[in-house]
Amino acid sequence: MGRERLYLYDTTLRDGQQTQGVQFSTAEKLKIAAALDALGVDYIEGGWPGANPTDSAFFAEVGRTRAAMTAFGMTKRAGYSAENDDVLAAVMNAGTPAVCVVGKSHDFHVTTALGIGLEENVANIGASVAHLVASRREALFDAEHFFDGYKANPDYALTCLRAALEAGARWVVLCDTNGGTLPHEIGRIVSEVIASGVPGGKVGIHTHNDTEMAVAGSLAAVDAGARQVQGTLNGLGERCGNANLTALIPTLLLKEPYASRFVTGVDMEALEGLTRVSRMLDDVLNRVPLKQVAYVGASAFAHKAGLHASAILKDPTTYEHIDPALVGNRRVIPMSNQAGQSNLRRRLAEAGLEVAPGDPALARILERVKTREAEGYSYDTAQASFELLAREELGLLPEFFEVKRYRVTVERRKNKYDRMVSLSEAVVVVKVDGEKKLSVSESMDEEGNDRGPVNALSKALAKDLGSYQYLIEDMRLVDFKVRITQGGTEAVTRVIIDSEDSSGRRWATVGVSANIVDASFEALLDAVRWKLVRAGARA
């Protein structure tokens, strides 16, 4: 028997932007849309054109996509015809193949929030959808507060859906706007809606995570017959977020009964890119990816318990519900336990360091990683610093140069035009090739802007390293992350620096100190040392 089509509708760029603290630029929206399109979702809701300049610019620039690009707006307002409502006109002007309009389906909201009659609201829904259809757009109707509305007045809620369908809507989307409806209720109500004559093939589901059950609620709706699921990457969205597509998609593709019953636009190959897509979004948001999230989190296949870790080495199915490679993730056996040594050897081999099993250096490296992590270091991300630490224990790290001292000065004062300006200056003193070298740099960039003390320090350190200088000329600092963390009993600063060279290679190093400048300097120093190691430099 053929599998049924299930449609995925992504609203990361619209409802996802309702997340507190999230504001995408147009360039970021374009980047996320490209990733969603490659993943294979069926609809990309790009924003509300007219309501937000960034959204209008996005639709103007996005170009053709495999997914149906969708503009979001609201049903026409009372007192305007659909043709003359300028809010709706701005939505239409984005020129997208699909348009989703949100409207009320809860009688209480119609009278309280809109302050219009119940029949007038139904007429507005019908006229708005008819206008979209007449303009040859695929029309979607988001029924706001549908579940609360249905519980209060099922007939009215259904009348709103019918008005949209009779006007030609391709989908009516049942929205649990406040996020308070539990999965069993969602399942029951969707069943009743379909039993009342609304075809399941035209029903979408839009849930929120206010009870931590948005994913379960979406699946309950699918079980009851809905065939479109709305959600966001990484579960972004208003309040507690929307249904998390990053968790939903693997369940739909890998778990029964869904895997045998449905086909989606996302195939098994695209699924292998899911972890990367999730991390890309965190990168755009400059967020530290959450480790414990389902399927794509860095801890999702981390086996800390000693019993689990040793069983996993015998047979991965003992403690893994799926193969992590299916979603582009990987197994982690933290170094802090027995199973750690074989894992450590694997990680060293990745850095080109072959160490025999049982070599006493392995235990020393593990011990040092443990001590340093207790101080606030993090070697999960800073692979280059980890490699330097291991090389030191293995006696494979030459001392290319020695830093004797440094000094950074940050000054802020009025310039001759009476404006406050800042400038930093750094002096670094190193001993290299048997010679003492003093280098000084300031924090001004080519445009005359102050880039701060770490920038000055980075330039001074890389200014004159004698015979090594030519090896580091093509290095540049591409990212700088700062976190306040706990080192023993005191708060300390952890700095992670990403560097890049002309070959496009990137590496991450870490520094920790109560002093943020010191922590940065430590990470900068590791970045230079790693580059010299990889360039094959000798002391």
Interface with a copy of itself includes 386 (CB under 8 A)? no
Residues 114-173 binding a copy of itself (CB under 8 A) are none
Residue with tokens 């392995």: 362
Minimum distance between the CB of residue 64 and a copy of itself, rounded to whole angstroms?
Answer: 27
CB 403 within 8 A of CB 525: yes
Residues in contact with a copy of itself, counted by CB under 8 A, come to a total of: 109
Distance in angstroms (rounded) separating the CA atoms of residues 298 and 304: 13
Distance in angstroms (rounded) separating the CA atoms of residues 107 and 118: 7
The residue type of 40 is G
The only residue of 66, 346, 407, 505 in contact with a copy of itself, by rule CB under 8 A: 407
The interface region with a copy of itself, picked from 188-196, 317-325, 339-347, 524-532 by CB under 8 A, is 317-325
Minimum distance between the CB of residue 200 and a copy of itself, rounded to whole angstroms?
Answer: 18
Please tell me what DSSP assigns to residue 317.
G
| Of residues 281, 232, 245, 244, the one with CA closest to residue 28 | 281
Residues 51-70 binding a copy of itself (CB under 8 A) are 52
Rounded CA Rg of the chain: 28
Peptide bond into 257 cis (omega under 30): yes
Minimum distance between the CB of residue 420 and a copy of itself, rounded to whole angstroms?
Answer: 8
Interface with a copy of itself includes 295 (CB under 8 A)? yes
| Of residues 446, 449, 398, the one with CA closest to residue 422 | 449
Distance in angstroms (rounded) separating the CA atoms of residues 231 and 237: 9
Closest CB to a copy of itself among residues 429, 537 = 429
Distance in angstroms (rounded) separating the CA atoms of residues 106 and 126: 16
Residue with tokens 């302050």: 115
Distance in angstroms (rounded) separating the CA atoms of residues 40 and 433: 56
Residues 410-469 binding a copy of itself (CB under 8 A) are 410-414, 422, 424, 443, 449-455
Residues 210-269 binding a copy of itself (CB under 8 A) are 210-213, 215-216, 219, 223, 235, 238-241, 244, 247, 250-251, 255
Closest CB to a copy of itself among residues 97, 316 = 316
| Of residues 495, 527, 526, 492, the one with CA closest to residue 511 | 495
Minimum distance between the CB of residue 470 and a copy of itself, rounded to whole angstroms?
Answer: 27
The interface region with a copy of itself, picked from 39-47, 79-87, 268-276, 515-523 by CB under 8 A, is 515-523
The only residue of 2, 136, 269, 292 in contact with a copy of itself, by rule CB under 8 A: 292
The only residue of 25, 81, 467, 469 in contact with a copy of itself, by rule CB under 8 A: 25
Q: Are strands 401-414 and 420-432 parallel, antiparallel or unpaired?
A: antiparallel
The only residue of 117, 196, 479, 505 in contact with a copy of itself, by rule CB under 8 A: 479
Long-range CB pairs of 444-453 (<8 Å, 24+ gap) are: 450/421, 450/422, 450/423, 450/424, 452/410, 452/422, 452/424, 453/408, 453/410, 453/424, 453/426, 453/517
The only residue of 66, 184, 261, 346 in contact with a copy of itself, by rule CB under 8 A: 184
Interface with a copy of itself includes 112 (CB under 8 A)? yes
Interface with a copy of itself includes 325 (CB under 8 A)? no
The residue type of 452 is G
x/- letters, 333..362, toward a copy of itself (CB under 8 A): -x-xxx------------------------
Interface with a copy of itself includes 322 (CB under 8 A)? yes
> Which residues are CB-neighbours of 177 under 8 A, at least 6 positions away?
144, 145, 146, 148, 208
Residues 487-506 binding a copy of itself (CB under 8 A) are 490-491, 493
Closest CB to a copy of itself among residues 327, 471 = 327
